[in-house]
Amino acid sequence: MKSMLFYASMEHHSNDLPWRGKYDVEYIEVDDCGRLVIEDLIEKLEKYKGRVKLVAVTGASNVTGYVNPVHKIAEWTHKYGARILVDGSQLIPHVTFDIKPSTSSKHIDFLVFSAHKMYAPFGVGVLIGPKSFFEQGSPDYTGGGTVRAVTHDMVVWNDPPSKEEAGTPNLMGVVALAAAIKNLTSIGMRNVDKHEKALTRQLINGLKKIDCIEMYCTEDKSQERVGIVPFNMKAIYHEQLAEILAGEAGISVRSGCFCAHPYVQRLMKISPEKIHNVIENPQEPKPGMVRVSFGLYNEHQEVEKLLRVLREIAKDRRRYVKLYS
């Protein structure tokens, strides 16, 4: 019988696809607003107690910006003898975060995040976990630097972290990430969070005044979130709206399902029949959204410009659709 792994129905594919086939997997439900259902997690931990080895959950959704109560999740996870992994890619660049001491029931066992979301170059990621865990077994990638001794008959692996870092590391990328973290720390993550939240409120309030805009998961003011706002404009395909914003105003937004297809399909209430139809007919328009993601470099004037351009597009949608068809 395989060990079990839980992760939420809101996960980025990077915290979904790698686990498939390696464990018996259970998805933790989200509600109609896209929020994680903690009660479902607790029920499944109880149902499968003893078999669950890992709960993998996003710190903040890259679709809705929702921040999950990961320390509360950690308490329940540890109560049932499992470990927790937090995908911090969308969380760590925006807010303060504490993995807490290993003696705490709220301790985060594993934390991962990406350099490029923290204003460092592409190609570097971070995995934080207990050294004792990485002392076990063989490394995923083998080669120079991973070994202490080798003969034709045996291999003695190096101590972690060297054991897990085959070949020549991306040294410049690591140095750049360290510099980015230092800069963010000097600015103050609370200041970053405050600034991005103000931009998010400004955008949401402005979008509410445009009748043909449909927003997703923005009504619950009590829900903690980072600076992400997903929406659509009625009668304009999401890819086309992104193209219009870029072409008319040089505004860059993301469109599509944001590498989280099941979550977006749930939020948009897309039926399984429609999903299968799109899969079987690749020429069919694919469902999706437009997403605005804020960073510390954005300004209030930019939000007002985006709102102004969206209002102009909304007034003459037919013309813009024809122009960009």
Q: How confident is the model at residue 226 (pLDDT cuts 50, 70, 90)?
A: very high
Q: pTM of the predicted model, to two decimals?
A: 0.93
76 has pLDDT over 70: yes
pLDDT of 3: 78
pLDDT of 219: 84
What is the rounded average pLDDT of the residues 133-137? 92
Active-site annotation holder among 33, 217, 257, 259 = 259
pLDDT tens sequence across 18-44: 999 888 899 999 998 999 999 999 999
Say whether 257 is catalytic: no
263 has pLDDT over 80: yes
Q: Looking at the domain covering 4-124, what would its CATH class be?
A: alpha beta
For tokens 């870092």, name the residue.
Answer: 165
What is the rounded average pLDDT of the residues 116-129? 95
Q: Which CATH entry fits the domain spanning 188-323: 1.10.10.60, 3.40.30.10, 3.40.50.620, 3.90.1150.10?
A: 3.90.1150.10
Pair 23, 41: CB distance under 8 Å:
no
Pair 55, 6: CB distance under 8 Å:
yes
1 has pLDDT over 80: no
pLDDT tens sequence across 142-184: 988 999 999 999 999 999 999 999 998 899 999 999 999 999 9
pLDDT tens sequence across 149-158: 999 999 999 9
Concatenate the DSSP letters of all residues of 148-183 into one string. Answer: EEE-SS-EEEPPTTGGG--SS--HHHHHHHHHHHHH
Concatenate the DSSP letters of all residues of 93-106 into one string. Answer: TTS------TTSTT
Rounded CA separation 260/35 (Å) = 14
- Could you tell me the residue ranges of all domains in the chain? 4-124, 188-323
Question: What letter would DSSP give residue 67?
Answer: B
The proportion of the chain whose per-residue pLDDT surpasses 90, expressed as a percent, equals 89
274-302 burial code (b ≥16 CB/10 A, e <16): eeeebeeeeeeeebbbbbbbbebebeeeb
